[in-house]
Amino acid sequence: MKIQPPKIAWRFLRWFCREDYLEEVEGDLIELFEKRYDESPSMAKRRFIWSVIKYFRPAFIKSFKNVNNSNTVSMFKNNIKIAWRTLKGQPFFTFLNTFGLAIGLAGGLLISLFIYDELSFDKMFDDAERIYRVNIDNKIAGEVNKYAAVSGPLAEVMTKDYPHIEKITRFRHTKSKLIREINAVHNVKEDHVVGADTSFLNMFGLDLLVGDPRTAFSEKNTLVLTRSAAEKHFGLNDALGKQLILDNEEVYMVTGVIEDFPENSFLRDHSVFISISSFDDHDSPAWNIWSFPTFVKLKEGANVSDFQNYLGEVKDRYLIPWAMKTIPGLTMEVLKEQEEKTGNYMIFGATPFVDTHLHSPNLSGEFSLNGDIQDIYILFSIGVFLVLLACVNFMNLSTARSLKRSKEVGIRKTLGSNRPALIVQFLTEASLVTFLSLLLAIILAIITMPYFNASSGKSIHIPFEEPVFWFILFGATLMLGLFSGSYPAFLMSKFSPLKGLRMGAEKTSGGARTRSLLVVVQFAVSIFLIVGTLVIFQQLRFIQKKDLGFQKDQVLVLNDIGMVGDQKETLKNEVERLGNVQSVSLSSYLPTPSERGGTTYFPEGRVPHADAAIIIDQWEVDFDYAKTLNLNIISGRDFNEQLMTDSSAVLLNEAAVAMLGKTPENVLGLRITDDFRKESEKDMHFYTVIGVVRNFHFETLRNSIDALSLVVGKESDRMMVKLKASDFSETIAGIESVWDKLASGQPFSYYFMDDSFNETYKAEQRLSKVFVVFTTLSIFIACLGLFGLAAYNAERKAKEIGIRKVLGATVAQVTYKLSSDFLKLVAVAIVVSLPLAWFIMNKWLEDFSYRIDISWWVLVLAAFLAIIISILTVSQQSIKAALSNPVKSLRSE
Amino acid sequence: MSEHSLGEFEELVLLFVAAYNNEAYGVLILENLEEKLGKKVNISAVHVALKRMENKGFVESSYGGITGERGGRRKKFYSITSLGKKVLDRQYELRTSIYKQIPKISFGQ
């Protein structure tokens, strides 16, 4: 025969197919194959394989009952049978073993899925590994900042200069938008809106559900919605060509609908994509607006470090020449000299796109919250710990039980069983237990998944439909079974048949030393986790309780008050008049972490001397800001509505005063300006420092306090309402009715400031939850193990106890004797793990600028807990043994 | 009648067995089916139907001689049994009798 059907499929068919059908089936298949081969060989092969697979059904499969009568197979069957009987024979230990292992496996499974999800971020986009995000690395006034969004003109410059770029796309950050259909009354708020370039879809390999991908972003005032956003407003199929009003003023046309972005992509939150030409500054030559996240796809084989070098030059070639044009008197030399003196720098660079989620911290201008590779490492180690603990348990219990079985081993050996056969037998048994545990673990994982998702903020499901998942799961379980079964198997198969038969296991203390070591490891890990949990909790409490320099309690924040138009003051006055409202303030700036830009100030007389400049935050606030937040004025005074001059007054915080090189007292009256682009100092607008506020924490406590200036301004899109302690719901209802009067049809949305503050520490809270859960689990597993060992020990020493009691030992003495062995092990574990825990948790705390010291009592408490738990676990068994009637245990001899 | 049930696909196969009585075998039936139905059919489906009908006693089979074709495998030829024919007839009668009950329906052309 010249042409052969696919070998493997054919062999498979011959293996499973009923003999009496085989000839016919084979004949027909070959005939078809030959006929089809002339048309297309690959098609013929494919269809052959497919047909073979379709034959794999009960009607065509031969009976295997008496076919494979080889020795290996029947031994295997026998092993399984024996294993099953042994397991059934000691239900208590089987339960401890399977349950402990199942918990470990379930934990490991959940953690693996979590890690897999985190690692898969953004990898679904076309050629993701060739995409780079351009960043800015900036140090100014002693503070390092990184930006994930860059200057607008950069994209064009790169396309022109750098030949190895295949594609480039730009976004434009913008704030949330109120959206309604052109003749609708009610607005819907879309929180995540972004401007997108014409090349956006092409760059990431995306397609539109409706609309033309080539022209979707080319016109001004057009936008593309995600599927869910489109369905919210008018349904998927009607969306195209519809007109929408944004923020009650601009009319936009829908030019397309895009599929929702997957949960593990950087655009997961975004629902509205506005064509970039709708932004006035999209073609502005200004290099100082860092609002354009820019992504570059390099050509295949392009050199990344070469690209980085190129980006390093962009500043000198483009940004500085532009700056020299706009700021009179600025020269390259002045700049260089100034940079040298202050240590300031600013440089463009690139981050691999697939690294942005885990390997890059949260930069300013990021699309969505990043994960942290460190969390992944922590979780990974916890997962490994957990599975390891469970395995250790398994080994411990099996070896302990094994001594009971030395008789069985003795008889088997006498009857001619060799060591490998015994090893195989015990390994089979171990694997059986692991697979039972796997079943239980999967059930546990299914049950706990919703809770896990809720606390980790993910939407993970167990990929039962993926063959790879099953493959890995079974593979890992088998490995685990072999790994944890290997030690007991080798130990047990070593027993000498003579000893085993003559005196049972009473004297052989097989593997006692290893067992002790394993118990120490288990408890060391548990104690470490206890310390970790306590420290994280303390730090979180410290953050929540810390005096932030302002009062965040009972402060209600109203969003988007721009919706009332020019009636902001009316809104404020009406709300102020409500009972239980202490004060009201309008501002866009809240003392919670968010993105802000710096403003450059020069003191009077020193404009524009670069070395006198300070770059600090500038917040526009109203007259009641300090009052509403309870800010502490340490010198000077607060803004006063009665004084006309206060429109050009400024409040500084202590950090800003320090930057100016002044004290809170002598800074009063100083005049500073941010209006330095004017020709003459006379035309510039100056602010007079009227007061200094005590530093307050407006960034997270991981950072130190930034310098800040407060000026009076009319721009505001939020309202803060300080409430008196009372039933809030009534007051909120009052505020809502005022709102409905002034802004009818607009969504009323509010939150409490301390809630949003807590939001900032979500990562830590999540970590603490994870720690609590896994600490509990690991302690539980360790206790299961200890419990099993204690039970076994008591049983093994039954005779010894009987003799001791006959000779006059008290119950207390016997209990002590039985428990002390275990407590010694726990003590060793404490000595080993406490210093380690102390060291590692100190490292973790170093991330926080404001942190607790780990106090000694935390360590003592952890040790104490471990001892108490182990005493509770062990003593129950010990006391039971000690109380038993010695006659029972001694009679049998 | 229930034990003499006939699925739609089985009926088609049985019709071909009857049509090519004593000459019908897997590939032949498959090719005719594909031609008449105008869609791809898997050979295994034909075999499943044939085996099922053989068990029910609608068809019987015998091997042909060895030839150089088909990798030396013999063909298995199927022929219809009297029971099979009866079932087929009954099915046909049933259909036509019901079909005749259809009044003249005008679709308003």
For A701-756, how does the pLDDT look when each residue is reduced to its tens digit (9 = 90+)? 666 677 888 888 877 888 888 888 777 788 888 888 888 888 777 778 888 888 77
Which whole number is the average pLDDT over A227-251?
82
What is the token pair recorded at A143?
A: 């503070």
Please give the average per-residue pLDDT across A547-554, as a whole number: 79
> Residue A702: helix, strand or coil by DSSP?
coil
CA distance A138 to A365: 14
| B2-101 to CATH, choices 1.10.10.10, 1.20.1070.10, 3.40.30.10, 1.10.3720.10 | 1.10.10.10
Residue B62 in contact with partner chain A when CB distance is under 8 A: no
Q: Express as a percent the part of chain B with pLDDT over 70.
A: 94
Chain A: give the shortest CA distance to residue B32, in Å. 13
Whether B18 and B84 have beta carbons less than 8 Å apart is answered as yes
pLDDT in tens, A433-466: 888 899 999 999 999 888 888 877 777 888 888 8
Question: Does pLDDT of A65 surpass 70?
Answer: no
**How far A50 CA lies from chain B's nearest CA (Å)?**
9
How far from chain centre, in Å, is Cα A411? 55
- Look at residue A830 in the predicted model and tell me its pLDDT: 92
| C-beta separation of A112 from A468 below 8 A | no
**Cis peptide bond N-terminal to A593, omega within 30:** no
**What's the gap in Å between the CA of B70 and the closest CA on chain A?**
5
CB A225 within 8 A of CB A217: no
Torsion angle of the four alpha carbons A668, A669, A675, A681, in this order, in degrees rounded to the nearest 10:
-140
Half-sphere exposure of B95 (CA within 13 A, CB side): 8
Lowest mean pLDDT among A82-86, A394-398, B14-18: A394-398
Interface touch B52/A59, C-beta < 8 Å: yes
Distance CA A173, CA A637 (A): 37
What is the average per-residue pLDDT within A398-427?
81
Q: Supply the DSSP symbol for A890.
A: H
Subunit contact B70:A31, Cβ cutoff 8 A: yes
Average pLDDT, chain B: 85
Q: For A162-194, what is each residue's pLDDT tens digit?
A: 888 888 999 988 888 888 888 777 888 888 888
Amino acid (1-letter code) at residue A375: D
Burial A306-336 (b: 16+ CB within 10 A, else e): ebeebbeebbeebbbeebeeeeeebeeeebe
What is the enclosing helix (H) or strand (E) of A297?
strand A294-298
- Which residue of B lies nearest to A26 if distances are taken between CA atoms? B73
Tell me: pLDDT of A1 over 50: no
Residue A352 has pLDDT above 50, yes or no: yes
In the structure encoding, which two tokens stand for residue A327, read together?
């700021």
Q: Give, as one character, the DSSP assignment of residue A61.
A: B
The interaxial angle of helices A568-577 and A728-742, nearest 10 deg, is 150
Give the model's pLDDT for residue A2: 57
Q: How far apart are CA A769 and CA A732, in angstroms?
A: 32
For the purposes of burial, counting CB atoms within 10 Å of the CB of A823, is it exposed (0-12), middle (13-18) or buried (19 or more)? Answer: middle
DSSP state of A892: T
Residue B78 host element (H or E): strand B76-80
Over range A144-160, report the average pLDDT.
84
pLDDT computed for residue A67 by the predictor:
53
Q: What is the pLDDT of residues A464-493, one digit of tens each?
A: 888 888 888 889 888 888 888 888 888 778
List the one residue out of A337, A523, A490 whose CA is nearest residue A419. Answer: A490
Chain B environment of A50 (Cβ under 8 Å): 42
pLDDT higher than 50, residue A506: no
Q: Are A676 and A733 in contact (CB under 8 A)?
A: no
Q: Which residues of B touch A24 (CB under 8 A)?
A: 25-26, 47, 73-76
Q: Which long-range contacts (CB under 8 A, 24 or more apart) does A227-231 make?
A: A227/A257, A227/A258, A227/A259, A227/A260, A228/A260, A228/A271, A229/A190, A229/A271, A229/A272, A230/A254, A230/A257
Q: Which two tokens stand for residue A190?
A: 């879309």
pLDDT digits (tens, 9 = 90+) for A600-648: 788 887 776 766 777 788 888 888 888 888 888 888 888 888 887 888 8
| Percent of chain B with pLDDT strictly greater than 90 | 13
With contacts defined as CB-CB under 8 Å, which chain B residues touch A39?
none
Cα-only R_g, chain A:
36
Provide the token pair at A422.
């015994």
Q: What does the pLDDT read at residue B1?
A: 43
Contacts of B25 in chain A (CB under 8 A): 24, 28
Residue A389: CB atoms within 10 A of its CB come to 30
Inter-CA distances, A215 with A275, A781, A869, Å: 10, 60, 68
Choose the mutation target among A4, A10, A28, A53 for the interface with B, i.e. most B CBs under 10 Å. A28
Q: How far apart are CA A548 and CA A550, in angstroms?
A: 5
Of A296, A481, A202, A522, the C-alpha closest to A392 is: A522
Closest by Cβ to B74, choosing from A23, A32, A51: A23
Q: Which are the contacts of A112, defined by CB distance < 8 A and separation ≥ 6? A: A383
At residue A532, the pLDDT reads: 85
- Is residue A86 very low, low, confident or very high in pLDDT (cuts 50, 70, 90)? confident
**Which residues of A fall below an 8 Å CB-CB distance to B?**
1, 21, 23-32, 35, 50-51, 54-55, 57, 59-60
Size of chain B in residues: 109
Q: Which of B51, B63, B73 sits opposite A26 (nearest CB)?
A: B73
Distance CA A407, CA A508 (A): 12
Is B48's CB within 8 Å of A29's CB? no
What is the Cα B76 distance to its own chain's centre? 15
CA B95, B100, B103, B107 dihedral sign is positive
Query: A64: distance to nearest CA of chain B, Å?
Result: 20
Which of B73, B74, B78 should we substitute to test contact with A (largest number of A Cβ atoms within 10 Å)?
A: B73
- Average pLDDT, stretch B67-77? 82
What is the 3-state secondary structure of A388-435? HHHHHHHHHHHHHHHHHHHHHHHHHHHCCCCHHHHHHHHHHHHHHHHH
Contact status of B56 with chain A (Cβ, < 8 Å)? no
Two structure tokens written together for A117 = 């999800």
- The nearest CA of chain A is from the CA of B107 a distance in Å of 33
B75 contacts in chain A (CB < 8 Å): 24, 27
In 3D space, the residue among A780, A775, A792 whose CA is nearest the CA of residue A862 turns out to be: A775
Asked whether A385 and A153 are in contact (CB, 8 A), the reply is: no
pLDDT at position A143 is 63
CA distance B73 to chain A (A): 5
Q: For the whole model, what pTM was predicted?
A: 0.67
- Pairing outcome for strands A649-653 and A686-693: parallel
> Taking residues A127-155, what's their average pLDDT?
82
Domain boundaries, chain B: 2-101
Distance between CA A483 and CA A398 in Å, rounded? 13
Report the range of poorest mean pLDDT among A72-76, A264-268, B22-26. A72-76
> A131 is written with which tokens?
């995409």
Q: Decide: helix, strand or coil at residue A798.
A: helix
Task: Name the residue with higher pLDDT: A289 or A205.
Answer: A205
Question: pLDDT tens for residues B16-67?
Answer: 999 988 888 888 999 998 888 888 888 888 988 998 888 888 999 888 888 7
Taking a contact as any Cβ pair under 8 Å apart, which residues of chain B between 77 and 106 contact chain A?
none
Identify the closest residue of chain B to A53 by CA–CA distance. Answer: B44
Whether A838 shows a pLDDT value over 60: the answer reads yes
Amino acid identity, position A747 = P
Q: What is the CB neighbour count within 10 angstroms for residue A363?
A: 20
Closest to A29 (Cβ–Cβ): which among B43, B63, B69? B43
What is the per-residue pLDDT across A649-686, written as a single tens digit (0 to 9) for each?
Answer: 899 888 888 888 888 888 888 888 887 777 777 778 88
Closest CA to A225 of A266, A184, A192, A187: A192
- Tokens 């060739």 belong to which residue? A130
Across all residues in chain A, what is the average pLDDT?
A: 82
For residue A834, what pLDDT is reported? 92
Kindly determine whether residue B73 and residue A51, on different chains, have CB atoms separated by under 8 Å: no
Name residue A225's amino acid: L
Give the list of residues 6+ apart from residue B53 with CB closer than 8 angstroms, or none.
B10, B13, B14, B17, B59, B84
3-class SS of residue A184 = coil
How many inter-chain contacts (A to B, CB under 8 Å) are there?
A: 60
**Residue A180 three-state SS:** strand
Q: What ipTM score was computed for the predicted complex, to two decimals? A: 0.86
Q: Which SS3 state, helix, strand or coil, does residue B63 take?
A: strand
Interchain proximity B73–A21, CB inside 8 Å: no
